[in-house]
Amino acid sequence: MTGAELLDLAREGFWVTLLVAGPAMIAGLLVGLAIALVQALTQVQEMTLVFVPRIVVMFLVIAVTLPFMGATLGRYATKIFELIAGSALP
């Protein structure tokens, strides 16, 4: 395996990480931003008001996107295992 192949594999690993973690992170960011805006407008400064909806929304997003996450991680793992098996042959 050459250095260019390793670099491509690492780059693809970063993209897989973004694709898998991105939806939940973006949903949590948007919910946190919306609740912060509501808190600023109503002047209610309750700390637990931010965390509970964010956790619930992130859990729901993960539950909905779990098949996509599994398929994406499975394809990447299969590719890595095939490269390992292919480079182990004489």
pLDDT at 48: 78
Say what the alpha-carbon torsion angle 23, 26, 27, 32 is, to the nearest 10 degrees: 160
Q: Which two tokens stand for residue 36?
A: 């912060």
Q: Where are the domains of the chain?
A: 3-88
pLDDT at 5: 84
Residues of the chain short of pLDDT 70, as ranges, are: 88-90
**56 closest CA partner among 17, 24, 19:** 24
pLDDT at 89: 59
**Mean pLDDT (the chain, rounded):** 91
pLDDT per position as a tens digit, 21-42: 999 999 999 999 999 899 889 8
> What percentage of the chain carries pLDDT values higher than 70?
97
